[in-house]
Amino acid sequence: MSSVSLNQNLIKRPGRLVLLGRYLRRNPSLTIGLAIMLGLTIFTVYGLLTINPKDAYPLAVRPQQPPSWKYPLGTDFFGRDLYPAMVIGLWQTAIIGLFAGALGTIVGTVLGFLSAYFGGILDKTISTICQILIPIPAFLIHVIIAGAIDKRSVTILTMAFVVFMLAWMGPTLVIRAQVLTMKERQFVSVAKLSGMNSFGIIFREILPNLLPFIAAAFVNQVFQAVFASLYLSVVGLGPLREPLLGNTLWSAQSQAAFFNGWWWWPIGPTVALALILASLALINMGIDELANPRIRTSE
Amino acid sequence: QEVADIPREDTLHLGWSLTSPIGTTNPWLAGYTHQQGEALQWEPLSYFGIFTDKEIPWLADSMEYTKDDFTELVIKLNPMAKWSDGVSVTSRDVVFTFEGQKNIGTLPYNAAFNQFMESVEAVDDLTVKLTFNQPAPRFKFEVLTLKFDTGIPIVPAHVLEAVEEVSEFEGGADMPHSGPYSIVSWDVNQKVYDLREDWWAVEAGRIDTPDVKRVVYFNIGGQVGQGMDIVAQRVVNSELDSALDMRSSVIDNIIANNPKVTTHSGDQPPYGYLDWWPNSLWMNTQLAPYDDARVRRAMSLVINRGLINDFVYEGAEIATIYPFPLYPGLQAFVDSPAVKALEEELQPGLYDPDASAALMEEAGFTMNRDDLWEKDGETVDATILGFEGIHSDIVPILVEMLRNGGFDSDVSFVQDAYQQMGDGVAGLYMFGHGASLKDPYAALELYHSRFSAANGTSAGGNRFSRYINPEYDAILDEMAPLSDDDPRFQELAAEALGIYWSEQIDIPIIQWLHRIPYNQTNWTNWPTTANPAMGTNGAFWAHTGMLVITNLEAAE
Amino acid sequence: MSLKYIGQRILYLFLVVWAASTITFFIPRLSSRNPVRERFAELARMGGFAPADLEKIIADYSRAFGLDKPLFQQYFDYLAGIARFDLGVSLNLYPKTVAMLLWESLPWTIGLLIVTTILAFVIGNLLGALSAWPQTPNWIRGFATSFVMLQGVPPVLLAILLIFFIGFKLKLAPLGGVYSIGTIPEFSLSFILNLLWHQMLPALALIFGSLGGWVLSMRGMGVTIQGEDYVTYAEHKGLGARTIFRDYYLRNALLPQVTGFALALGNVVVNAIVVESIFGLPGVGSVLFAAIRSNDFLVIYGIVLFITMGVATLMIIVELLYPLLDPRIKHT
Amino acid sequence: MTTTTQAAATQAATTQAAQSERETVLTVTDLVVSYYTDAGRAKALDKVNLTLKAGEKIGLVGESGSGKSTMALAMMRMIKAPGRIEAGNVVVGDIDLMSLSDKDMLQARLSQIAYIPQGAMNSLNPVTRIGSQLVDAMKAHTKDVSKEEMKERAIAALESVELKPEVFKMYAHELSGGMKQRVCIAIGILLEPKVIIADEPTSALDVVTQRQVMETINRIQEQIGAAVILIGHDMGLMAQSMDKVAVMYAGRLVEVSTVREMFTDPKHPYSQALIRSLPKLEEKGVFEGIPGMAPSLLRLPNGCAFHPRCRDVMDHCKTTRPENQVLTGGRRVTCHLYAEENEKAVA
Amino acid sequence: MAPLLEFKNVSKIYNPGKDETVALDNLSFTLKEEEPTILTVAGESGSGKTTLAMLLLGFISATHGQILYKGKDIDNLRGKEKVAFRKEVQAVFQDPFAVFNPFYTVDHLLEVPINRFKIASNKHEAREKMNEALTAVGLQPDEILGRYPHQLSGGQRQRINIARALIMRPKILIADEPVSMVDASLRANILETLQVLQKDYGVSIIYITHDLTTAFHIADSIMVLYRGSVMEAGGVDEVIKTPQHPYTQLLVDSIPWPDLNRRWGQTDLVPSEDSVIGTGCKFYSRCPHAMDVCKSRPGLFQLEPYQTASCYLYKDKPELKTEALSSVLPV
Ligand SMILES: Nc1ncnc2c1ncn2[C@@H]1O[C@H](COP(=O)(O)OP(=O)(O)OP(=O)(O)O)[C@@H](O)[C@H]1O
Ligand SMILES: Nc1ncnc2c1ncn2[C@@H]1O[C@H](COP(=O)(O)OP(=O)(O)OP(=O)(O)O)[C@@H](O)[C@H]1O
Ligand SMILES: [Mg+2]
Ligand SMILES: [Mg+2]
């Protein structure tokens, strides 16, 4: 063998944290999105540890008070303290979002994988079902489902479940498309040659590479779920007593809060929702960049 | 067709929710409502001025019971009354109307006519004799007189006789009618009614020529449509002269923004007048735990009526202890010494959480870790069913009061609330008593066991309590044939009310107010406390809305 | 384009409608609610009293609506009705049929929705493309990003805020409605201007509501396309930035977005539901909102079906147009 | 098209003879380009010098990552972030490209200096017709030319690369790889530029198509008299169609020679190794690679970048960077081995 | 004993029907275990080379005919036999980057087969095997292991691929254009490694390429495909030095030899895009010698002991049965 490998000068790479920092600097939308999300999380967690949950429900405090030291976000017509209401609302919104988002993403990912990897009749069935369901406006079906459930048993989790019911087609199609291209990649062939079975190929070879896509799908799902929960509140389908952001907002609206000069009442949940959704949108934008190999300039 | 130009000064703009299909005017059409301007076209034999407690004869000059036992009624029509196509209103129309009500199942008073009417007969062109099969002292008032949302209008026989299936006949914009306005333009956004020059009532001297030349019903989409705040903004801007009833804080702000806007009580709270629909927390008294009067009473004891007034009504005294509205006749009744004594004794409005707790313990409940009453491992399902559009301010408050009293309560504004109430599923229902206006009979009759459907079947006519008490029934039966000015009637009524209170059949919460903004920029002479006008309520959408509108005067 | 392809598409449309109708038919029947009774109960509540023999009337009507037949019989009748474009009757607005409701409300919606969706599509895609384009000035990029963030403000909120501040406080726009109260509709310039004037705020609310989504997806697309060799090569050819942007970059990035267009209409309807009702516009959205709140089930199903059909048809139309946009695609 | 050996030989002879009188069309002086990456600055071109006369064909060879494409892009002024042209001049004809405004540079591209891309497969816009991609290039550079004339010229260009006029109306996906590559050539010659840079125009093609494309390039180049820079690492291709070869190693041009000199007497040790590694028909089954691996531009070895792999490494190679030497006959080498010889020559 | 590998009249047709592509047309050959050899499959783009590789690896199934591994149809292998087949038939692909999963370090490529086929009994032994294989292909293990694929050069990556094949000790290795994406200076190294594999480890190699230069240097025998059919086959010396089939002549003539004394392009080119295949010779439309008889498909004519061509120019020569193709392939 004539070739002699000489010890190549190894290039010193900056540490992971430094790289992450640089990456975030280059990806401002992800950074801002994550920062907002982090802020909201801190607000919620700190809040949950310090508030008295009872104050988030009617008759707890003096009604119709503008923001003050005592009531940082004011109080509403019903005598809720809007600060704990916001904390609990954020928490519940997070539960719905995460639950529906996670479920939708998991089911979508599993179906997408099954469909694309094994192909054949399974693929035909799954993708046809998705394609048939896609044009049906999900929200309207949510309404129909929510309308059919006995309202007294509606909880935050049932609401999340309703949202999830039609949230899996999007990720299924996205993941399916990705797996389809991914399984044509040569490393999959090599893994087969290395004796890996389908299970191993799916989980060890393909799945890790799809993480950015799955993350993007997840963020998107959470976005949809938060949105859907807001609209379900707006049309009056949901656990009304709970200070869900959508409920607070809509009850402010139905008590004509702006007109009555209680501006602080709707503003809180509006800002919170806007922040949640905007941060999700920004994170989505950022992850998009991550998932897109062309712009993934460095490791 | 060409629509005349009518200046804004001569036009009345009303904000209301429009749902009736375009072109449907026939009052016998299934799904007909009188609330969307139709009341401007269809007139009754007589109206009732609730605040003057007076009958207002209209198509009929008089309606008299001609037998002491209230089994015969003679109606005399006004000879000048005419349909808009020039045909006179005669006994033929009245007989046609009555017989139609008796024969056509879909008509709203079909049951009442079947229950009471023996026969109807045209004595001559202007006289009708109505014979009952049992004493019907309240038939004239309840059925033949238009007030609020009840009673029947007279329909043109010469038009409907020719129609095969009246309940499917739309009528159309040109259907001959007796009222003052005709519809000239109609789409989903608005209905435009123009004054008819040849309205019989002016010639007949019933009323002066109306100032309002045109009425526009503007579709605000109702409680499910444009929010109250936006409607309020349009009232402030004088885009609307009047609109649906609103919460007091909103009225407060409307007046603050536009001092020309007034209400039934002027610029002072409660900004409205009493509606006939006092609300209670109803419950199915046949289902545990509501079958226990102690539980019902315990719930009442944790309702703090003063707090309700403070939170929801800015201090106005709206919370009530009665199942009927305190109109003059009824006010007289509750002011009677008998009722006063009962109230003193039974304290129906008492707020006393300790007493409540004692009762609950007595009923076998214990307080669990969540501070909720529990028996056999079950909390009290005290979810309050209500209607979001009208109850979203009060119900959340009640829920918290019950919660604080240890009842596992929650809000539920489901669409099928009414159905659940009718079906008597366990729980609480926030709902009104649309019954009594002059005397307490109708309200008290709601709890007669005749109407107390067995569990599992549906309770009709808002009789959700399913209350069964032979003693109570006996009292009511004795009242039925008596006129309200009979002293025995008053005595029995007090007795029945005593049972209602002591048994806590339901929990009376609030009187119902109509807080309607009246914009005086263009129109004055709205019915108010100071100016009762013809004594009707100010709701332009009620049957008596026509009287409100035709009495308006142009602002200077 | 082959016959087989057309056949397939028609089958697809058929399947979509069938799926939507099956879902709408069966889900509500899983619960024990009786919409007819609910409707009468509601009527009774509004009138403040109910006829004593409510039960009998309900039975009569249930028969008229076929609710007393066996479930599957009902199902097939329902499907057969849909095949005849008979979407049933509104319970709440009886005797209005669903078709009538759609017919009345569609004109008010179509104008608004089509215009806003197209505007949002055009502006959103342009901004998205620009924000992925390296030569774009930073302020445009910031502008585009701010629209993505604006997505966080749901249109329902936007609508409320716009009316209160722009309409009521600043008096710069009407407080909703389709035209000024009391105007008699006619075919004249002043009336049309009046109409347009009233559509301004709702249009804004709807456009802002969906703009961000387009920005976001177009941006992703744009970044991919921008790395393509043919875009770089166009620069090598010495083409001006504008030509490259338009003919090489935008045209290619736009292709997948067009598929999204039809789907977006379905989502826009959701926004339209609340926006229309807040502005008091008598469009499909308002009708649907009212139907949802009053559980007027046939109206809900009818509109769901109608929207689904519309979206699916549009998707097919877009698909048929695709070869015009992308010569690589042929329908076989 | 018939290209016989004889014709080719005579043509080669005439070009050779004509070369000395020809004007210089390209002068690259001290071109420096760096990429600023996370891991640091990579000097992808380090003081590169090159001159070309009209009609001259030079091959640019070197290992992957040695900076060949970077040089092409730098000459087109198409280096994008994180890259930067840090010094140097590129003069085409009498235009100094580095001093042009961005707008003028747009004009210079294609009309002065044209680039034929590496991946012709993906270099054509998939959604517009081939014709319009020729026409828009013309439009960007010429005014007052009528549509018809542009179309005529485009079709003429297509025909000159042996494509049928119908191609004008076709789409990229309807063409084979070789045809697409020829469309790119047609675009490249549309405005008869002085310099044509072809970046591995054939490495994705099979031998037959490769030959066809190379023949096209050569013929066209003779027609318009442009100088050609052919980038590639296939020495066979260089031997068969180029006049000169420039060898690049780690961002520097280590040797520039005529093809004949390169194959018979390579000077730089890297060139020597390169030539040695070429398979020869006579020596079946004998392989001789270049030991070691290409250095990372982020961290070049001290001294001569090639010293860790060099057979003839000397002590000062490890510390001192060699300078560019011009040997007798105009050959240029960057190696310490020839420093003395060069000094002698100068003396 | 059954031969190691046997292609029996194998055809592969994509999208059978109207626009079908015959990617491989009635191909037969055998490889024997006791005679490890390097067989080149050459041909221009689209001639069916990769299809052949995919068939052999069992990634796709033949439309007609059978592929036998140790006498068993590879489509019907089960259990142990299947595992053995997987292990013993290996491949090295064209793109040295694409075969690495970007998510993992390069170790993954070597670890997976070791674990899967239980090549080593413990971690330590596995590591040793890896070191050994990497050293064998001329790489320094400690310099390579633990790095991500993009941190290595193309040549290094390709050699890791070969190391992987080494670890597996396959009986057959399919190398699909293993050097076409690698630098000229690295080509030599890789080809050399392949040669060592055959010589020292007794692996039969099917070397797929369109580059006849490398084929000439490395292979014993060659098979020239054109649109799925064998045009010419035999020993590399015979076929490349004295090509007989017009297509092979064209191919050989198109090689850009790095040799100033050999001029390029003696034969005329007929653009390939015009050609249509009828029932005749597939090369008909591009062939300078096209004759009328070529409108029917020619069989294989044996020219030399180790050379055969499918061309009517040699119709006087004895015809060779398709199944007997291997007899003219030297080992
Ligand atoms: N956009 C970039 N960012 C960072 N480094 C780059 C970029 N483009 C090129 N480089 C680096 O610059 C050096 C030269 O790259 P270049 O593409 O010019 O090489 P090349 O000789 O053309 O190689 P090949 O033969 O593989 O095409 C390489 O080390 C490469 O990694
Ligand atoms: N999955 C497939 N579906 C349809 N046709 C295919 C498929 N794979 C290959 N083909 C066709 O089969 C023929 C042979 O393809 P193959 O990939 O085997 O050629 P190749 O010789 O490997 O070419 P290259 O040198 O370009 O890699 C080609 O015409 C190709 O278009
Ligand atoms: Mg390159
Ligand atoms: Mg291949």
Pick from C6, C221, C228, C199: nearest CA to C127: C221
The Cα C175–Cα C180 span in angstroms is 9
Length of chain B: 556
Residue B135 neighbours by CB distance under 10 Å: 18
Q: What is the mean pLDDT of residues E284-308?
A: 87
Radius of gyration (C-alpha) of chain A in whole angstroms: 24
CA distances from B148 to B107, C49, D241 (A): 18, 12, 103
All domains in chain A, ordered by first residue: 22-63+70-291 (1.10.3720.10)
Q: What is the DSSP string of B424-492?
A: T-SSEEEEE----SSSSHHHHHTT-GGG-PPTTSPPPTT-TT----HHHHHHHHHHTTS-TTSHHHHHH
Look at A79 and E331; give whichever has higher pLDDT.
Answer: A79
Whether E24 and E51 have beta carbons less than 8 Å apart is answered as yes
Residues C54 and C186 grouped into a single domain: no
Which residues fall within 8 angstroms of residue E177, CB to CB, at 6 or more apart? E49, E93, E94, E208, E209, E210, E211
- The residue with greater pLDDT, A241 or D263, is D263
Which position has the token pair 């009336």? C191
Cβ atoms within 10 Å, residue C19 = 17
At residue C111 the predicted structure's pLDDT band, cuts being 50, 70 and 90, is confident
Phi-psi region of C308 (alpha: psi -120 to 50; beta: other; left: phi over 0): alpha
State both tokens at A73: 């976000």
Nearest to A4 among D38, D39, D292 (CB): D292
Question: Is the backbone peptide bond immediately before C134 cis, with ω within 30 degrees of 0?
Answer: no
- Which pLDDT score is estimated for D45? 92
Query: So what's the pLDDT on residue D1?
Result: 38
- Extract the runs of DSSP E, i.e. beta strands, from E196-291: 204-209, 221-226, 229-235
pLDDT at position B87 is: 95
* Best mean pLDDT range from C162-166, C209-213, E171-175: E171-175
* Average confidence score pLDDT of chain D: 84
Number of domains in chain C: 2
AA identity, residue B241 = D
B464 close to C44: Cβ distance less than 8 angstroms? no
Please give the distance, rounded to the nearest whole angstrom, from the Cα atom of residue A280 to the centre of ligand 4: 44
Closest CA to C163 of B190, B250, B228, B14: B228
For residues E164 and E113, the answer to whether their CB atoms sit within 8 Å is: yes
The 10s digit of each residue's pLDDT in C248-307 is 888 888 887 887 787 777 777 778 878 888 888 888 888 888 787 776 777 888 888 888
**Phi, psi dihedrals of residue B393, rounded to the nearest 5°:** -90, -40
pLDDT tens, position by position, D246-260: 999 999 999 999 999
Instruction: For residue range C189-223, list pLDDT tens digits in order.
Output: 888 899 889 988 889 888 888 888 888 888 878 87
Lowest mean pLDDT of A19-28, A29-38, A90-99, D255-264, name the range.
A19-28
* Residue C50 pLDDT greater than 50, yes or no: no
- Give the tens place of pLDDT for each residue, C310-331: 888 888 888 888 888 888 877 6
Nearest by CB to B189, which of C55, C93, C282?
Answer: C282
Tens of pLDDT along C234-258? 989 988 888 899 888 888 888 878 8
Quote the tokens at residue B86: 């020039």
The total number of residues written for chain E in this structure: 331
D33: Cβ below 6 Å to ligand 1? no
The dihedrals phi and psi of D60, each to the nearest 5 degrees, come to: -115, 115
DSSP string, C14-28: HHHHHHHHHHHHHHH
**Would you call B427 an interface residue with chain A, using a CB distance cutoff of 8 Å?**
yes
- Judge if C201 and C56 occupy the same domain: no
Q: For residue C295, how many C-alpha atoms fall within 13 Å in the half-sphere facing its CB? A: 28
User: What's the rounded Cα separation, in Å, for the pair C297 and C288?
Assistant: 10
Per-residue exposure over A151-178, b if at least 16 CB sit within 10 Å of its own CB, e if not: bbebebebbbbbbbbbbbbbbbbbbbeb
CB-based contact E292:E298 (threshold 8 Å): no
The band of C332, judged by pLDDT with boundaries at 50, 70 and 90, is low
Q: What are phi and psi of D306, to 5 degrees?
A: -90, -5
Report the first-to-last Cα separation within chain A, whole angstroms. 34
> Do both C196 and C266 map to the same domain?
yes
- Please indicate, yes or no, whether residues C145 and C178 belong to a single structural domain of this protein: yes
- Residue C103 backbone dihedrals phi, psi, to 5 degrees: -60, -40
In this structure, which amino acid lies at residue E277? I
C179 contacts chain B (CB < 8 A) = yes
> Is D234 in Cβ contact with E256 (below 8 Å)?
yes
**Maximum CA extent, chain D:** 67
DSSP state of A151: G
Please check whether residue E270 touches D, CB under 8 A: no
> Do chains A and D touch, with touching meaning 3 or more CB–CB pairs less than 8 Å apart?
yes
Whether residue C109 sits in one domain with residue C17: no
Contact (Cβ atoms closer than 8 angstroms) between residue C271 and residue C116: no
Give the pLDDT of residue D96.
92
Same domain, C152 and C47: no
Distance CA B279, CA B509 (A): 6
Residues 6+ apart with CB under 8 A from B259: B267
Nearest CA to ligand 2 atom 18: E48
- Segments in B314-363 forming alpha helices (H): 328-335, 337-346, 353-362
Mean pLDDT, each 10-residue run in order, chain B (556 residues): 85 88 87 88 94 92 93 95 95 96 86 90 95 92 90 94 88 92 90 94 93 92 64 91 87 92 89 89 90 94 93 86 92 94 94 95 92 90 84 90 92 75 82 87 90 74 85 94 90 95 95 92 92 85 93 90
Note the helical H segments in chain D. Answer: 5-19, 68-75, 102-111, 130-141, 147-160, 177-189, 207-224, 235-241, 259-264, 269-276, 339-346
Q: Please give the Cα distance from E57 to E178 (Å, whole number).
A: 16
Q: How many CA atoms lie within 13 A of A180 on its CB side?
A: 14
Q: What is the pLDDT of residue B120?
A: 95
Q: Nearest Cβ partner of C307 from A137, A259, A289? A: A137
Q: According to CATH, what is the number of the domain D18-249?
A: 3.40.50.300
Distance CA B159, CA D116 (A): 89
CB pair distance less than 8 Å for C19 and A132: yes
| Residue C328 domain-assigned (yes or no) | no
Q: Which of E190, E177, E243, E174 is nearest to E44 (CA)?
A: E177
* C55 and C195 share one domain: no
The per-residue pLDDT for range D212-265, each reduced to its tens digit, is: 888 888 888 888 888 999 998 888 888 888 999 999 999 999 999 999 999 888
- Across the range E108-130, mean pLDDT stands at 90
Same domain, C162 and C214: yes
pLDDT mean over A263-282: 87
Residue B201 near residue B207 (C-beta atoms within 8 A): yes
ipTM at complex level: 0.79
- Provide the 8-state DSSP code for B192: E
Q: Output the pLDDT for position E304.
A: 87
Cα Rg of chain E (Å, integer):
21
The whole-number pLDDT of residue A6 equals 38
Contact E305, E279 (CB under 8 A): no
Contacts of C270 (CB under 8 A, 6+ apart): A137, A139, A140, A231
What is the C-alpha separation between A232 and A247, in angstroms, rounded?
Answer: 9
Q: What pairing do the DSSP bridges indicate for beta strands B381-385 and B378-379?
A: unpaired
Q: How far is CA C151 from CA C123, C156, E56, in A?
A: 14, 11, 54
Residue type, A4: V
Considering chain C, what percentage of its residues have pLDDT values greater than 90? 3
Q: What CA–CA distance (Å, rounded) separates A287 from A277? A: 15
Whether D232 lines ligand 1, by a CB cut-off of 6 Å, is no
* Residue D136: half-sphere exposure toward Cβ, Cα within 13 Å: 24
Largest CA distance in chain E: 68
Q: Is residue C66 part of a domain?
A: yes
Q: Is the pLDDT of residue D16 over 90?
A: no
**Alpha carbon distance D131, D152 (integer Å):** 10
Q: What is the pLDDT of residue A298?
A: 40
C34 and C142 both lie in a single domain: no
How many whole angstroms from its chain centre is CA D222? Answer: 16
CATH number at residue C176: 1.10.3720.10
Q: Tell me what pLDDT residue B407 has.
A: 94
Answer yes or no: do C77 and C113 share one domain.
no
| A142 and C300 Cβ atoms separated by less than 8 Å | no
Q: How far is E6 from chain A (nearest CA, A)?
A: 20
List B residues 167-206 in contact with C (Cβ-Cβ < 8 A): 168, 185, 187-190, 192
Distance CA B536, CA C50 (A): 23
pLDDT at position C52 is: 47
Asked if B464 reaches chain C (Cβ–Cβ under 8 Å), the answer is no
> What is the C-alpha to C-alpha distance for residues C159 and B222, in angstroms, rounded to an integer?
18
Q: Ligand 1 centre and the CA of D52: distance in Å?
A: 23
CA B318 from chain centre, in angstroms, equals 17
At A220, which helix (H) or strand (E)?
A: helix A207-234
**Nearest-CA distance from C76 to chain B in Å?**
26
Higher pLDDT, A20 or C241: C241
C57 has a chain B CB within 8 A of its CB: yes
First to last CA, chain E: 18
Residue C56 and residue C192 in one domain: no
| Phi-psi group of B314: left, alpha or beta (phi > 0 → left; psi -120 to 50 → alpha; rest → beta) | left
E64-85 pLDDT, tens digit each:
999 999 989 998 888 888 889 9
Cβ pair C33:B29 closer than 8 A: no
The structural domains of chain D, with segments of one domain joined by +, span 18-249, 263-280+290-346
Tell me which residue range forms the domain holding C28.
Answer: 3-83
